[in-house]
A and B are shown apart, each in its own frame.
Chain A
Protein backbone atom coordinates (compact mmCIF):
# COMPACT_ATOMS: atom_id res chain seq x y z
CA UNK A 1 0.00 0.00 0.00
CA UNK A 2 1.14 3.55 -0.43
CA UNK A 3 3.30 5.10 2.19
CA UNK A 4 4.44 1.90 3.80
CA UNK A 5 7.56 2.19 5.84
CA UNK A 6 9.07 -0.89 4.26
CA UNK A 7 11.49 0.45 1.67
CA UNK A 8 11.51 -2.84 -0.18
CA UNK A 9 8.07 -2.34 -1.55
CA UNK A 10 7.22 -0.02 -4.32
CA UNK A 11 5.44 3.19 -3.49
CA UNK A 12 2.19 2.27 -5.22
CA UNK A 13 0.67 -1.15 -5.38
CA UNK A 14 -0.85 -2.32 -8.64
CA UNK A 15 -4.34 -1.93 -7.24
CA UNK A 16 -3.66 1.69 -6.40
CA UNK A 17 -2.44 2.45 -9.89
CA UNK A 18 -5.62 0.87 -11.20
CA UNK A 19 -7.64 3.01 -8.85
CA UNK A 20 -6.01 6.15 -10.19
CA UNK A 21 -6.60 4.96 -13.73
CA UNK A 22 -10.32 4.77 -13.13
CA UNK A 23 -10.57 8.53 -13.38
CA UNK A 24 -10.12 8.42 -17.12
CA UNK A 25 -13.18 9.37 -19.16
CA UNK A 26 -14.91 6.85 -21.37
CA UNK A 27 -18.02 6.98 -23.47
CA UNK A 28 -21.07 5.02 -22.46
CA UNK A 29 -24.47 4.47 -23.99
CA UNK A 30 -27.06 4.31 -21.25
CA UNK A 31 -30.25 2.41 -21.69
CA UNK A 32 -32.32 4.31 -19.21
CA UNK A 33 -33.20 7.81 -18.38
CA UNK A 34 -31.66 9.31 -15.29
CA UNK A 35 -31.22 12.76 -13.84
CA UNK A 36 -27.85 14.38 -13.53
CA UNK A 37 -25.56 12.86 -10.93
CA UNK A 38 -23.76 15.33 -8.75
CA UNK A 39 -20.45 14.20 -7.33
CA UNK A 40 -17.61 15.99 -5.67
CA UNK A 41 -15.48 15.48 -8.74
CA UNK A 42 -18.12 16.85 -11.10
CA UNK A 43 -21.60 16.50 -12.49
CA UNK A 44 -22.47 13.82 -15.01
CA UNK A 45 -25.62 13.42 -16.98
CA UNK A 46 -28.50 13.71 -17.34
CA UNK A 47 -28.63 10.33 -19.05
CA UNK A 48 -31.00 9.64 -21.93
CA UNK A 49 -31.42 6.27 -23.56
CA UNK A 50 -29.13 5.69 -26.57
CA UNK A 51 -27.41 9.05 -26.23
CA UNK A 52 -23.66 8.70 -25.72
CA UNK A 53 -22.24 10.41 -22.62
CA UNK A 54 -18.78 10.87 -21.23
CA UNK A 55 -18.30 9.57 -17.71
CA UNK A 56 -15.32 8.47 -15.62
CA UNK A 57 -14.40 4.82 -15.85
CA UNK A 58 -15.40 3.99 -12.31
CA UNK A 59 -18.88 5.27 -12.93
CA UNK A 60 -19.09 3.45 -16.23
CA UNK A 61 -18.10 0.16 -14.60
CA UNK A 62 -20.59 0.67 -11.78
CA UNK A 63 -23.41 1.36 -14.22
CA UNK A 64 -22.42 -1.57 -16.36
CA UNK A 65 -22.50 -3.90 -13.40
CA UNK A 66 -26.06 -2.88 -12.77
CA UNK A 67 -26.93 -3.41 -16.40
CA UNK A 68 -27.74 0.19 -17.08
CA UNK A 69 -25.42 0.97 -19.94
CA UNK A 70 -23.01 -0.37 -22.49
CA UNK A 71 -19.48 0.92 -22.69
CA UNK A 72 -18.06 2.01 -25.99
CA UNK A 73 -14.39 1.00 -26.21
CA UNK A 74 -11.98 3.90 -26.61
CA UNK A 75 -10.54 4.88 -29.98
CA UNK A 76 -7.15 3.34 -29.44
CA UNK A 77 -8.59 -0.02 -28.60
CA UNK A 78 -9.43 -1.21 -32.10
CA UNK A 79 -7.67 -4.08 -33.83
CA UNK A 80 -6.24 -1.87 -36.60
CA UNK A 81 -4.78 0.76 -34.30
CA UNK A 82 -3.30 -1.83 -31.98
CA UNK A 83 -1.74 -3.74 -34.83
CA UNK A 84 -0.18 -0.52 -36.04
CA UNK A 85 1.20 0.18 -32.60
CA UNK A 86 2.56 -3.34 -32.30
CA UNK A 87 4.36 -3.11 -35.63
CA UNK A 88 5.88 0.23 -34.69
CA UNK A 89 7.01 -1.11 -31.32
CA UNK A 90 8.68 -4.07 -32.92
CA UNK A 91 10.45 -1.93 -35.48
CA UNK A 92 12.11 0.64 -33.27
CA UNK A 93 14.69 -0.34 -30.71
CA UNK A 94 14.66 2.64 -28.43
CA UNK A 95 11.48 4.57 -28.98
CA UNK A 96 8.20 3.81 -27.35
CA UNK A 97 4.92 4.40 -29.07
CA UNK A 98 2.42 6.95 -27.93
CA UNK A 99 -0.18 5.07 -25.94
CA UNK A 100 -2.60 6.27 -23.29
CA UNK A 101 -0.92 6.56 -19.95
CA UNK A 102 -3.16 3.99 -18.31
CA UNK A 103 -3.72 1.63 -21.19
CA UNK A 104 -2.89 -1.48 -19.16
CA UNK A 105 -5.37 -0.75 -16.40
CA UNK A 106 -8.12 0.52 -18.66
CA UNK A 107 -7.87 -2.50 -20.89
CA UNK A 108 -7.95 -4.87 -17.96
CA UNK A 109 -10.98 -3.21 -16.44
CA UNK A 110 -12.83 -3.29 -19.72
CA UNK A 111 -12.01 -6.95 -20.29
CA UNK A 112 -13.25 -7.83 -16.87
CA UNK A 113 -16.51 -5.96 -16.94
CA UNK A 114 -17.41 -5.06 -20.51
CA UNK A 115 -16.26 -8.07 -22.47
CA UNK A 116 -19.27 -8.16 -24.76
CA UNK A 117 -18.95 -4.51 -25.72
CA UNK A 118 -15.59 -4.89 -27.38
CA UNK A 119 -15.54 -6.25 -30.93
CA UNK A 120 -12.93 -9.01 -31.50
CA UNK A 121 -12.17 -9.12 -27.82
CA UNK A 122 -9.72 -12.03 -27.99
CA UNK A 123 -7.73 -10.41 -30.75
CA UNK A 124 -7.60 -7.11 -28.91
CA UNK A 125 -6.57 -8.84 -25.73
CA UNK A 126 -3.74 -10.77 -27.31
CA UNK A 127 -2.53 -7.65 -29.12
CA UNK A 128 -2.37 -5.69 -25.89
CA UNK A 129 -0.48 -8.49 -24.17
CA UNK A 130 2.02 -8.56 -27.02
CA UNK A 131 2.47 -4.82 -26.94
CA UNK A 132 3.07 -4.96 -23.23
CA UNK A 133 5.67 -7.70 -23.58
CA UNK A 134 7.55 -5.92 -26.34
CA UNK A 135 7.63 -2.66 -24.43
CA UNK A 136 8.79 -4.22 -21.23
CA UNK A 137 11.51 -6.09 -23.03
CA UNK A 138 12.61 -2.82 -24.56
CA UNK A 139 12.78 -1.18 -21.16
CA UNK A 140 14.96 -3.99 -19.91
CA UNK A 141 17.36 -3.86 -22.83
CA UNK A 142 17.73 -0.15 -22.46
CA UNK A 143 18.28 -0.38 -18.74
CA UNK A 144 21.31 -2.52 -19.40
CA UNK A 145 23.07 0.52 -20.75
CA UNK A 146 22.95 2.37 -17.44
CA UNK A 147 26.43 3.46 -16.50
CA UNK A 148 27.95 5.29 -13.59
CA UNK A 149 27.43 8.63 -15.25
CA UNK A 150 23.67 8.34 -15.05
CA UNK A 151 22.15 10.44 -12.33
CA UNK A 152 18.69 10.61 -13.80
CA UNK A 153 16.72 8.54 -16.21
CA UNK A 154 14.25 9.78 -18.76
CA UNK A 155 12.04 7.45 -20.74
CA UNK A 156 9.35 8.87 -22.97
CA UNK A 157 5.92 7.41 -23.50
CA UNK A 158 6.05 4.81 -20.78
CA UNK A 159 2.74 3.89 -19.20
CA UNK A 160 1.78 4.07 -15.54
CA UNK A 161 1.87 0.37 -14.81
CA UNK A 162 5.22 -0.14 -16.51
CA UNK A 163 6.71 2.73 -14.55
CA UNK A 164 5.37 1.23 -11.37
CA UNK A 165 7.01 -2.10 -12.02
CA UNK A 166 10.50 -0.78 -12.65
CA UNK A 167 10.39 2.02 -10.12
CA UNK A 168 11.97 0.27 -7.09
CA UNK A 169 14.63 -1.45 -9.16
CA UNK A 170 15.70 1.63 -11.08
CA UNK A 171 15.72 3.76 -7.96
CA UNK A 172 17.98 1.36 -6.14
CA UNK A 173 20.22 0.83 -9.13
CA UNK A 174 20.72 4.55 -9.65
CA UNK A 175 21.48 4.97 -5.96
CA UNK A 176 24.02 2.20 -6.06
CA UNK A 177 25.73 3.65 -9.11
CA UNK A 178 25.82 7.06 -7.52
CA UNK A 179 27.32 5.68 -4.35
CA UNK A 180 30.08 3.90 -6.16
CA UNK A 181 30.88 6.89 -8.30
CA UNK A 182 31.42 9.33 -5.45
CA UNK A 183 34.44 11.57 -5.54
CA UNK A 184 36.48 10.01 -2.80
CA UNK A 185 36.37 6.57 -4.30
CA UNK A 186 37.44 7.47 -7.81
CA UNK A 187 40.74 9.34 -7.99
CA UNK A 188 40.74 12.56 -9.93
CA UNK A 189 43.02 11.42 -12.71
CA UNK A 190 40.52 8.91 -13.91
CA UNK A 191 37.72 11.42 -14.00
CA UNK A 192 39.33 14.05 -16.18
CA UNK A 193 39.53 11.85 -19.24
CA UNK A 194 35.76 11.37 -19.20
CA UNK A 195 34.80 14.96 -18.94
CA UNK A 196 33.05 16.46 -21.92
CA UNK A 197 32.77 20.15 -22.79
CA UNK A 198 30.08 21.89 -20.78
CA UNK A 199 28.17 23.01 -23.85
CA UNK A 200 27.13 19.58 -25.00
CA UNK A 201 27.00 18.04 -21.58
CA UNK A 202 24.41 15.36 -21.59
CA UNK A 203 26.54 13.17 -19.38
CA UNK A 204 24.35 13.54 -16.35
CA UNK A 205 21.17 12.47 -18.07
CA UNK A 206 20.70 9.13 -19.65
CA UNK A 207 18.13 9.51 -22.40
CA UNK A 208 16.56 6.28 -23.46
CA UNK A 209 14.94 7.88 -26.42
CA UNK A 210 16.66 10.15 -28.87
Chain B
Protein backbone atom coordinates (compact mmCIF):
# COMPACT_ATOMS: atom_id res chain seq x y z
CA UNK B 1 0.00 0.00 0.00
CA UNK B 2 2.97 2.27 0.37
CA UNK B 3 3.01 2.62 -3.41
CA UNK B 4 -0.50 3.96 -3.68
CA UNK B 5 0.63 7.55 -4.06
CA UNK B 6 3.81 6.79 -5.93
CA UNK B 7 3.68 8.51 -9.30
CA UNK B 8 5.89 5.97 -11.02
CA UNK B 9 3.65 3.18 -9.86
CA UNK B 10 0.56 4.87 -11.26
CA UNK B 11 2.18 5.45 -14.62
CA UNK B 12 3.43 1.87 -14.70
CA UNK B 13 -0.13 0.71 -14.39
CA UNK B 14 -0.96 2.49 -17.62
CA UNK B 15 1.12 0.15 -19.74
CA UNK B 16 -0.96 -1.78 -22.24
CA UNK B 17 -1.34 -5.50 -22.05
CA UNK B 18 -2.95 -7.66 -24.69
CA UNK B 19 -5.64 -9.89 -23.27
CA UNK B 20 -8.16 -12.43 -24.49
CA UNK B 21 -11.72 -12.20 -23.28
CA UNK B 22 -13.02 -15.39 -21.66
CA UNK B 23 -16.54 -14.12 -21.14
CA UNK B 24 -18.64 -11.92 -23.30
CA UNK B 25 -19.05 -8.38 -22.12
CA UNK B 26 -22.04 -6.19 -22.91
CA UNK B 27 -22.25 -2.48 -22.96
CA UNK B 28 -18.54 -1.76 -23.12
CA UNK B 29 -17.31 0.36 -25.96
CA UNK B 30 -13.76 -0.81 -26.23
CA UNK B 31 -13.55 -0.92 -29.99
CA UNK B 32 -15.09 2.22 -31.47
CA UNK B 33 -15.28 0.79 -34.97
CA UNK B 34 -17.43 -2.26 -34.14
CA UNK B 35 -21.21 -2.09 -34.62
CA UNK B 36 -22.32 -3.40 -31.26
CA UNK B 37 -21.30 -2.36 -27.80
CA UNK B 38 -20.40 -5.82 -26.67
CA UNK B 39 -17.21 -7.89 -26.80
CA UNK B 40 -17.29 -11.52 -27.91
CA UNK B 41 -15.63 -14.43 -26.18
CA UNK B 42 -12.15 -15.02 -27.48
CA UNK B 43 -11.52 -11.56 -28.88
CA UNK B 44 -8.13 -10.04 -28.39
CA UNK B 45 -8.00 -6.52 -26.99
CA UNK B 46 -5.36 -4.17 -25.69
CA UNK B 47 -6.15 -2.74 -22.31
CA UNK B 48 -4.17 -0.81 -19.70
CA UNK B 49 -2.73 -2.94 -16.97
CA UNK B 50 -4.94 -1.68 -14.14
CA UNK B 51 -8.07 -2.63 -16.02
CA UNK B 52 -6.69 -5.96 -17.19
CA UNK B 53 -5.63 -6.81 -13.66
CA UNK B 54 -9.09 -6.22 -12.25
CA UNK B 55 -10.76 -8.19 -15.00
CA UNK B 56 -8.39 -11.08 -14.47
CA UNK B 57 -9.24 -11.16 -10.79
CA UNK B 58 -12.85 -11.68 -11.84
CA UNK B 59 -11.72 -14.34 -14.29
CA UNK B 60 -13.17 -12.53 -17.22
CA UNK B 61 -9.95 -12.32 -19.24
CA UNK B 62 -6.63 -14.05 -19.56
CA UNK B 63 -3.43 -12.10 -19.99
CA UNK B 64 -0.74 -12.66 -22.55
CA UNK B 65 2.87 -11.64 -22.18
CA UNK B 66 3.30 -8.01 -23.20
CA UNK B 67 5.37 -7.27 -26.27
CA UNK B 68 8.25 -5.81 -24.31
CA UNK B 69 9.05 -9.22 -22.84
CA UNK B 70 8.87 -11.18 -26.05
CA UNK B 71 11.50 -13.41 -27.55
CA UNK B 72 13.22 -10.66 -29.50
CA UNK B 73 13.92 -8.66 -26.38
CA UNK B 74 15.08 -11.73 -24.55
CA UNK B 75 17.61 -12.54 -27.25
CA UNK B 76 18.90 -9.00 -27.24
CA UNK B 77 19.31 -9.00 -23.50
CA UNK B 78 21.16 -12.26 -23.59
CA UNK B 79 23.47 -10.95 -26.27
CA UNK B 80 24.46 -7.66 -24.68
CA UNK B 81 22.11 -6.23 -22.13
CA UNK B 82 24.05 -3.07 -21.54
CA UNK B 83 23.23 -1.71 -24.99
CA UNK B 84 19.60 -2.70 -25.24
CA UNK B 85 17.38 0.33 -25.46
CA UNK B 86 14.92 -0.58 -22.77
CA UNK B 87 13.38 2.83 -22.56
CA UNK B 88 11.85 2.69 -26.02
CA UNK B 89 10.37 -0.74 -25.29
CA UNK B 90 8.95 0.19 -21.97
CA UNK B 91 10.29 2.91 -19.66
CA UNK B 92 9.15 0.97 -16.63
CA UNK B 93 10.60 -2.33 -17.71
CA UNK B 94 11.45 -3.66 -14.28
CA UNK B 95 8.42 -2.47 -12.37
CA UNK B 96 6.07 -3.67 -15.05
CA UNK B 97 7.82 -7.01 -15.15
CA UNK B 98 7.47 -7.39 -11.41
CA UNK B 99 3.73 -6.76 -11.66
CA UNK B 100 3.14 -8.97 -14.66
CA UNK B 101 5.19 -11.94 -13.49
CA UNK B 102 2.75 -13.42 -10.96
CA UNK B 103 -0.22 -12.96 -13.28
CA UNK B 104 1.02 -14.45 -16.50
CA UNK B 105 1.74 -18.13 -16.48
CA UNK B 106 5.32 -17.89 -17.65
CA UNK B 107 7.92 -18.25 -14.88
CA UNK B 108 10.89 -16.92 -16.77
CA UNK B 109 10.27 -13.20 -16.51
CA UNK B 110 11.79 -12.95 -13.05
CA UNK B 111 15.20 -14.37 -13.92
CA UNK B 112 15.21 -12.36 -17.12
CA UNK B 113 14.74 -9.13 -15.21
CA UNK B 114 17.35 -10.09 -12.71
CA UNK B 115 20.01 -10.95 -15.22
CA UNK B 116 19.30 -7.85 -17.27
CA UNK B 117 19.48 -5.65 -14.23
CA UNK B 118 22.67 -7.22 -12.95
CA UNK B 119 24.62 -6.57 -16.11
CA UNK B 120 23.22 -3.13 -16.76
CA UNK B 121 23.87 -2.15 -13.18
CA UNK B 122 27.58 -2.38 -13.71
CA UNK B 123 27.40 0.09 -16.57
CA UNK B 124 25.30 2.50 -14.57
CA UNK B 125 27.70 2.31 -11.67
CA UNK B 126 30.81 3.17 -13.59
CA UNK B 127 29.26 5.89 -15.68
CA UNK B 128 27.35 7.54 -12.89
CA UNK B 129 30.18 8.35 -10.59
CA UNK B 130 32.76 9.40 -13.07
CA UNK B 131 30.99 11.05 -15.97
CA UNK B 132 32.07 14.63 -16.25
CA UNK B 133 29.29 15.73 -18.58
CA UNK B 134 26.11 13.92 -17.63
CA UNK B 135 24.10 15.24 -20.53
CA UNK B 136 26.56 14.12 -23.16
CA UNK B 137 26.19 10.44 -22.54
CA UNK B 138 24.10 8.51 -25.01
CA UNK B 139 23.91 5.83 -22.38
CA UNK B 140 21.30 7.79 -20.48
CA UNK B 141 18.68 7.51 -23.18
CA UNK B 142 18.49 3.74 -22.96
CA UNK B 143 17.94 3.47 -19.22
CA UNK B 144 14.58 2.73 -17.69
CA UNK B 145 13.09 4.93 -15.02
CA UNK B 146 14.42 2.81 -12.21
CA UNK B 147 17.96 2.86 -13.52
CA UNK B 148 17.73 6.58 -14.10
CA UNK B 149 16.86 6.99 -10.43
CA UNK B 150 20.00 5.13 -9.47
CA UNK B 151 22.07 7.16 -11.85
CA UNK B 152 20.75 10.46 -10.62
CA UNK B 153 21.24 9.53 -6.99
CA UNK B 154 24.91 8.90 -7.58
CA UNK B 155 25.30 11.92 -9.82
CA UNK B 156 23.74 14.36 -7.39
CA UNK B 157 25.75 13.20 -4.43
CA UNK B 158 28.94 13.39 -6.47
CA UNK B 159 28.26 16.94 -7.61
CA UNK B 160 27.33 17.99 -4.10
CA UNK B 161 30.63 16.66 -2.84
CA UNK B 162 32.59 18.42 -5.58
CA UNK B 163 30.83 21.67 -4.88
CA UNK B 164 31.70 21.34 -1.22
CA UNK B 165 35.31 20.65 -2.02
CA UNK B 166 35.59 23.77 -4.13
CA UNK B 167 34.84 25.79 -1.09
CA UNK B 168 32.67 28.81 -1.10
CA UNK B 169 30.47 30.39 1.52
CA UNK B 170 29.34 28.02 4.18
CA UNK B 171 26.18 29.84 4.95
CA UNK B 172 23.75 30.52 2.21
CA UNK B 173 21.48 33.46 2.37
CA UNK B 174 17.87 32.34 2.41
CA UNK B 175 16.14 33.30 -0.78
CA UNK B 176 13.32 34.91 1.13
CA UNK B 177 15.60 37.53 2.59
CA UNK B 178 16.94 38.68 -0.73
CA UNK B 179 13.76 40.14 -2.02
CA UNK B 180 13.23 43.76 -1.31
CA UNK B 181 9.77 44.77 -0.34
CA UNK B 182 8.17 47.56 -2.14
CA UNK B 183 6.96 50.27 0.18
CA UNK B 184 3.26 50.62 0.08
CA UNK B 185 2.99 54.38 0.30
Are A140 and B157 within 8 A (Cβ)?
A: no
Q: Which residues of B contact A (CB under 8 A)?
A: 94, 98, 101-102, 107, 109-111, 113-114, 117-118, 121-122, 125-126, 128-130, 146, 149-150, 152-154, 156-158, 160-161, 163-165, 167, 170
6 A/B residue pairs, CB under 8 Å, sorted by A: A146-B121, A168-B157, A173-B150, A180-B117, A182-B98, A184-B101
Report the bound CA distance from A125 to B118 in whole Å.
38
**Which of B114, B117, B153 is the one whose CB lies under 8 Å from A168?**
B153
CB distance from A197 to the nearest CB of B (A): 24
Are B125 and A168 within 8 A (Cβ)?
A: no
Report the bound CA distance from A11 to B122 in whole Å.
24
Q: Which residues of chain B are within 8 angstroms of A186 by Cβ–Cβ distance?
A: 110-111, 114
**Which of A8, A14, A184, A190 is the one whose CB lies under 8 Å from B102?**
A184
Give 1 or 0 for each of A98-117: 1 = CB within 8 Å of chain B CB.
00000000001000100000
Interface of B: prevailing SS: helix
Are A140 and B125 within 8 A (Cβ)?
A: yes
**Which of A8, A140, A177, A184 is the one whose CB lies under 8 Å from B152?**
A8
Are A18 and B153 within 8 A (Cβ)?
A: no
Given known A140-B129, A172-B149, A184-B101, contact A112–B167 (CB-CB < 8 A) = yes
Given known A146-B121, A184-B102, A187-B107, contact A161–B149 (CB-CB < 8 A) = no
Are A180 and B98 within 8 A (Cβ)?
A: yes
Report the bound CA distance from A157 to B164 in whole Å.
22
**Which of B126, B128, B157 is the one whose CB lies under 8 Å from A164?**
B157
Does any Cβ of B come within 8 Å of A176's Cβ?
Answer: yes
Are A185 and B126 within 8 A (Cβ)?
A: no
Given known A176-B94, A184-B102, contact A15–B157 (CB-CB < 8 A) = no
Closest chain A residue to B170, Cβ basis? A15
